[in-house]
Amino acid sequence: MTYTPQMKNKKIAKTVIKAKNPRGLQKRVRVKTRKKRSISSSRWLERQLNDPYVAAAKSEGYRSRAAFKLIQMNEDLKLFKPGQKVVDLGAAPGGWTQIAVELVKPGKTGGRVAAIDYLDMPQIDGAEFICLDFMDNSAPERLTQAIGGMADLVLSDMAPPTIGHKRTDHLRIMALAEAAYAFAREVLVPGGTFLSKVFMGGAGQDLLNQLKKDFTKVKHVKPHASRADSSEMYVVALGFRG
Protein backbone atom coordinates (compact mmCIF):
# COMPACT_ATOMS: atom_id res chain seq x y z
CA MET A 1 0.00 0.00 0.00
CA THR A 2 1.29 3.47 -0.78
CA TYR A 3 0.59 6.36 1.55
CA THR A 4 0.15 10.02 0.78
CA PRO A 5 2.49 12.38 2.68
CA GLN A 6 -0.19 13.23 5.23
CA MET A 7 -0.73 9.51 5.92
CA LYS A 8 2.85 8.93 7.12
CA ASN A 9 1.87 9.55 10.70
CA LYS A 10 2.51 6.11 12.16
CA LYS A 11 -0.76 5.91 14.03
CA ILE A 12 -2.79 6.82 10.95
CA ALA A 13 -0.83 4.43 8.75
CA LYS A 14 -1.45 1.59 11.19
CA THR A 15 -5.10 2.52 11.43
CA VAL A 16 -5.53 2.47 7.64
CA ILE A 17 -4.22 -1.08 7.58
CA LYS A 18 -6.58 -2.08 10.36
CA ALA A 19 -9.42 -0.37 8.54
CA LYS A 20 -8.94 -2.75 5.63
CA ASN A 21 -9.21 -5.84 7.84
CA PRO A 22 -9.60 -4.48 11.35
CA ARG A 23 -10.20 -7.64 13.29
CA GLY A 24 -9.70 -10.59 11.02
CA LEU A 25 -11.63 -13.82 11.47
CA GLN A 26 -13.13 -14.29 14.89
CA LYS A 27 -15.96 -16.34 16.25
CA ARG A 28 -19.24 -14.49 15.92
CA VAL A 29 -20.83 -13.32 19.17
CA ARG A 30 -24.54 -14.02 19.49
CA VAL A 31 -26.81 -12.12 21.87
CA LYS A 32 -29.88 -13.73 23.37
CA THR A 33 -33.05 -11.72 23.82
CA ARG A 34 -33.88 -11.18 27.48
CA LYS A 35 -37.11 -10.13 29.10
CA LYS A 36 -35.88 -6.57 29.64
CA ARG A 37 -34.28 -6.32 26.18
CA SER A 38 -36.28 -6.00 22.98
CA ILE A 39 -35.48 -7.97 19.85
CA SER A 40 -34.31 -4.80 18.10
CA SER A 41 -32.02 -3.93 21.02
CA SER A 42 -30.58 -7.43 20.98
CA ARG A 43 -29.90 -7.18 17.25
CA TRP A 44 -28.22 -3.79 17.70
CA LEU A 45 -26.02 -5.13 20.50
CA GLU A 46 -25.08 -8.20 18.47
CA ARG A 47 -24.17 -6.02 15.50
CA GLN A 48 -22.00 -3.80 17.71
CA LEU A 49 -20.21 -6.77 19.28
CA ASN A 50 -19.47 -8.26 15.85
CA ASP A 51 -18.56 -5.04 14.06
CA PRO A 52 -14.80 -5.04 13.37
CA TYR A 53 -14.73 -1.24 13.09
CA VAL A 54 -16.22 -0.84 16.55
CA ALA A 55 -13.46 -3.07 17.92
CA ALA A 56 -10.76 -1.29 15.93
CA ALA A 57 -11.99 2.15 17.05
CA LYS A 58 -11.81 1.04 20.67
CA SER A 59 -8.34 -0.41 20.12
CA GLU A 60 -7.02 2.76 18.48
CA GLY A 61 -8.66 5.16 20.91
CA TYR A 62 -11.13 6.66 18.45
CA ARG A 63 -14.47 7.79 19.79
CA SER A 64 -16.49 6.16 17.04
CA ARG A 65 -16.25 3.72 14.15
CA ALA A 66 -16.98 6.72 11.89
CA ALA A 67 -13.30 7.65 12.17
CA PHE A 68 -12.52 4.84 9.73
CA LYS A 69 -14.93 6.27 7.16
CA LEU A 70 -12.98 9.51 7.10
CA ILE A 71 -9.62 7.70 7.08
CA GLN A 72 -10.70 5.70 4.03
CA MET A 73 -12.10 8.71 2.19
CA ASN A 74 -8.94 10.66 2.90
CA GLU A 75 -6.78 7.84 1.57
CA ASP A 76 -8.69 7.92 -1.71
CA LEU A 77 -9.35 11.67 -2.03
CA LYS A 78 -6.43 13.32 -0.18
CA LEU A 79 -8.71 15.64 1.75
CA PHE A 80 -6.27 16.73 4.47
CA LYS A 81 -2.97 18.58 4.57
CA PRO A 82 -1.02 19.84 7.59
CA GLY A 83 -1.84 23.46 8.38
CA GLN A 84 -5.39 23.46 7.04
CA LYS A 85 -8.35 25.13 8.67
CA VAL A 86 -11.13 22.56 9.04
CA VAL A 87 -14.74 22.74 10.19
CA ASP A 88 -16.47 19.56 11.38
CA LEU A 89 -20.29 19.83 11.44
CA GLY A 90 -22.24 17.28 13.45
CA ALA A 91 -19.05 16.26 15.22
CA ALA A 92 -20.19 14.30 18.28
CA PRO A 93 -18.87 12.00 19.62
CA GLY A 94 -15.69 13.25 17.94
CA GLY A 95 -14.26 10.51 15.71
CA TRP A 96 -13.90 12.77 12.68
CA THR A 97 -12.51 15.59 14.80
CA GLN A 98 -9.80 13.28 16.12
CA ILE A 99 -8.72 12.37 12.57
CA ALA A 100 -8.76 16.02 11.49
CA VAL A 101 -6.49 16.99 14.39
CA GLU A 102 -4.07 14.14 13.70
CA LEU A 103 -3.72 15.08 10.04
CA VAL A 104 -3.85 18.89 10.25
CA LYS A 105 -1.48 18.97 13.26
CA PRO A 106 -2.71 22.32 14.65
CA GLY A 107 -0.08 22.56 17.38
CA LYS A 108 2.81 22.30 14.91
CA THR A 109 1.50 23.92 11.74
CA GLY A 110 -0.83 26.72 12.80
CA GLY A 111 -3.81 24.91 11.36
CA ARG A 112 -7.14 24.97 13.14
CA VAL A 113 -9.97 22.52 13.68
CA ALA A 114 -13.42 23.68 14.80
CA ALA A 115 -16.18 21.20 15.61
CA ILE A 116 -19.86 21.77 16.38
CA ASP A 117 -22.76 19.62 17.59
CA TYR A 118 -25.85 20.13 19.73
CA LEU A 119 -24.76 17.01 21.62
CA ASP A 120 -22.02 17.68 24.13
CA MET A 121 -18.72 15.82 23.99
CA PRO A 122 -15.39 15.98 25.82
CA GLN A 123 -12.88 18.39 24.36
CA ILE A 124 -10.20 17.12 21.97
CA ASP A 125 -6.73 18.65 22.24
CA GLY A 126 -6.03 20.71 19.15
CA ALA A 127 -9.70 21.35 18.31
CA GLU A 128 -12.23 23.92 19.47
CA PHE A 129 -15.59 22.36 20.17
CA ILE A 130 -18.81 24.41 20.16
CA CYS A 131 -21.82 22.76 21.80
CA LEU A 132 -24.57 24.32 19.70
CA ASP A 133 -27.11 23.37 17.07
CA PHE A 134 -25.58 24.18 13.69
CA MET A 135 -28.97 25.57 12.61
CA ASP A 136 -28.72 28.25 15.32
CA ASN A 137 -28.27 31.70 13.77
CA SER A 138 -25.08 32.31 15.73
CA ALA A 139 -23.34 29.10 14.58
CA PRO A 140 -21.70 30.35 11.35
CA GLU A 141 -20.07 33.34 13.05
CA ARG A 142 -18.84 31.28 15.98
CA LEU A 143 -17.30 28.71 13.64
CA THR A 144 -15.51 31.29 11.51
CA GLN A 145 -14.16 32.91 14.67
CA ALA A 146 -12.93 29.53 15.87
CA ILE A 147 -10.86 28.93 12.73
CA GLY A 148 -9.83 32.56 12.36
CA GLY A 149 -11.56 33.27 9.05
CA MET A 150 -11.83 31.11 5.94
CA ALA A 151 -11.77 27.30 5.79
CA ASP A 152 -9.88 24.85 3.59
CA LEU A 153 -12.22 21.95 4.32
CA VAL A 154 -15.81 21.75 5.55
CA LEU A 155 -17.00 18.32 6.72
CA SER A 156 -20.59 17.45 7.55
CA ASP A 157 -21.58 14.14 9.09
CA MET A 158 -24.88 15.60 10.23
CA ALA A 159 -27.92 13.38 9.94
CA PRO A 160 -31.42 13.60 11.44
CA PRO A 161 -32.94 10.61 13.25
CA THR A 162 -34.44 8.32 10.62
CA ILE A 163 -38.11 7.38 10.76
CA GLY A 164 -38.00 4.55 8.22
CA HIS A 165 -39.86 6.43 5.49
CA LYS A 166 -37.28 6.71 2.70
CA ARG A 167 -38.68 9.81 1.05
CA THR A 168 -39.00 11.71 4.32
CA ASP A 169 -35.58 10.61 5.58
CA HIS A 170 -34.00 11.68 2.31
CA LEU A 171 -35.63 15.11 2.40
CA ARG A 172 -34.57 15.70 5.99
CA ILE A 173 -30.92 14.83 5.45
CA MET A 174 -30.83 16.84 2.23
CA ALA A 175 -32.04 19.89 4.15
CA LEU A 176 -29.02 19.49 6.45
CA ALA A 177 -26.65 18.93 3.52
CA GLU A 178 -27.94 22.07 1.81
CA ALA A 179 -27.56 24.08 5.02
CA ALA A 180 -24.01 22.76 5.41
CA TYR A 181 -23.15 23.80 1.88
CA ALA A 182 -24.73 27.24 2.27
CA PHE A 183 -22.24 27.74 5.10
CA ALA A 184 -19.33 26.16 3.21
CA ARG A 185 -19.92 28.37 0.19
CA GLU A 186 -19.40 31.43 2.38
CA VAL A 187 -16.25 30.27 4.16
CA LEU A 188 -14.28 28.05 1.76
CA VAL A 189 -11.08 29.37 0.23
CA PRO A 190 -10.54 28.89 -3.53
CA GLY A 191 -9.49 25.29 -4.04
CA GLY A 192 -11.29 24.21 -0.86
CA THR A 193 -13.24 21.00 -0.29
CA PHE A 194 -16.76 20.19 0.91
CA LEU A 195 -17.81 16.74 2.13
CA SER A 196 -21.30 15.92 3.34
CA LYS A 197 -23.31 12.87 4.34
CA VAL A 198 -26.36 12.11 2.20
CA PHE A 199 -28.58 9.02 1.95
CA MET A 200 -28.91 6.51 -0.85
CA GLY A 201 -30.02 8.32 -3.95
CA GLY A 202 -27.19 10.78 -3.47
CA ALA A 203 -27.32 14.52 -3.31
CA GLY A 204 -30.53 16.18 -4.45
CA GLN A 205 -30.37 17.43 -8.00
CA ASP A 206 -30.49 21.10 -7.03
CA LEU A 207 -27.56 20.71 -4.64
CA LEU A 208 -25.67 18.54 -7.10
CA ASN A 209 -26.08 21.11 -9.87
CA GLN A 210 -24.83 23.86 -7.58
CA LEU A 211 -21.81 21.81 -6.51
CA LYS A 212 -20.90 21.05 -10.11
CA LYS A 213 -21.07 24.75 -10.85
CA ASP A 214 -18.96 25.77 -7.87
CA PHE A 215 -16.33 22.99 -7.85
CA THR A 216 -14.02 21.40 -10.38
CA LYS A 217 -14.87 17.83 -9.33
CA VAL A 218 -17.92 16.29 -7.61
CA LYS A 219 -18.47 12.63 -6.77
CA HIS A 220 -20.42 10.29 -4.50
CA VAL A 221 -18.51 7.85 -2.31
CA LYS A 222 -19.40 5.06 0.12
CA PRO A 223 -16.39 4.08 2.24
CA HIS A 224 -15.90 0.44 3.18
CA ALA A 225 -16.50 1.32 6.83
CA SER A 226 -20.09 2.30 6.03
CA ARG A 227 -22.25 -0.67 6.87
CA ALA A 228 -23.41 -2.55 3.79
CA ASP A 229 -27.03 -2.35 4.91
CA SER A 230 -26.83 1.40 5.59
CA SER A 231 -28.29 3.86 3.11
CA GLU A 232 -25.66 6.47 3.93
CA MET A 233 -23.15 7.75 1.40
CA TYR A 234 -21.18 10.96 0.96
CA VAL A 235 -20.96 13.69 -1.63
CA VAL A 236 -17.48 15.15 -2.05
CA ALA A 237 -16.80 18.39 -3.92
CA LEU A 238 -13.16 19.26 -4.67
CA GLY A 239 -11.58 22.44 -6.00
CA PHE A 240 -13.89 25.26 -4.93
CA ARG A 241 -13.92 27.92 -7.61
CA GLY A 242 -14.60 30.73 -5.15
Q: Cite the active site residues.
A: 197
The SS3 of residue 231 is coil
Q: For residues 189, 157, 21 and 17, what is the CA-based torsion angle, rounded to 10 degrees?
A: 30
**Cβ neighbourhood burial of 11 (10 Å; 0-12, 13-18, 19+):** exposed
CA angle 63, 66, 67 (to 5 degrees): 65
Contact by Cβ (8 Å): 157, 91: yes
